[in-house]
Structure 1
Amino acid sequence: MEECTGKSSWPELVGVNGNKAVTIIEKENPNVEAIVVVIGRDNVTTDFRCDRVWVWVDNYGIVGLVPHIG
C-alpha cells in the first residue's frame, strides 16, 4: 500500500457540517482533495488514493463516518 504524507484521519470531524469538514481537512493536509458524499445515496470508486478524502455525510449534511485518506 502506498504511504501517504500528512494527516490521514479526522475522527474529530464526526458530527460537524460536511462543508466545514472539507475546509478543515484541506487546510490540515493540503495534499488532499476532500469530497462530500451522502451515506447510502452516493457511489464512490474503491481505488486507494493518497490525494483523496471521502467526507461521508447524512441527509442533513453532517459527517457520519470518520473521514480518512483513501
Structure 2
Amino acid sequence: MENQKLSSLQLDLLKVYSFQPSDEDLLAVRRLLANYFSDKLVDKIGQSVEKNQISEADLDRWLNE
C-alpha cells in the first residue's frame, strides 16, 4: 500500500481533536465545514450557470428528466 500524506486541512483538524473538544464543539466545527464547502459549491454552480447561460427552465427540465 502506498503511503499517503495528510493534507493541511487534515493536519489542522487533528490539532483540533488533540485538545479533546466537547461533542458540542465538534458539531459546531462540522457545521462550519459543511457550510463552507456548501457555499463554495453553490458559488461554483452559479458561475457555471452564468458562464454556460443555463436558464431556470433548463434546470427545471433537468430536474424532471
Query: TM class, shorter-chain normalised?
Result: under 0.3
Normalised by the length of structure 2, the TM-score is 0.26
Higher-Rg member (1/2): 2
Higher share of residues assigned helix: 2
Higher share of residues assigned strand: 1
Normalised by the length of structure 1, the TM-score is 0.25
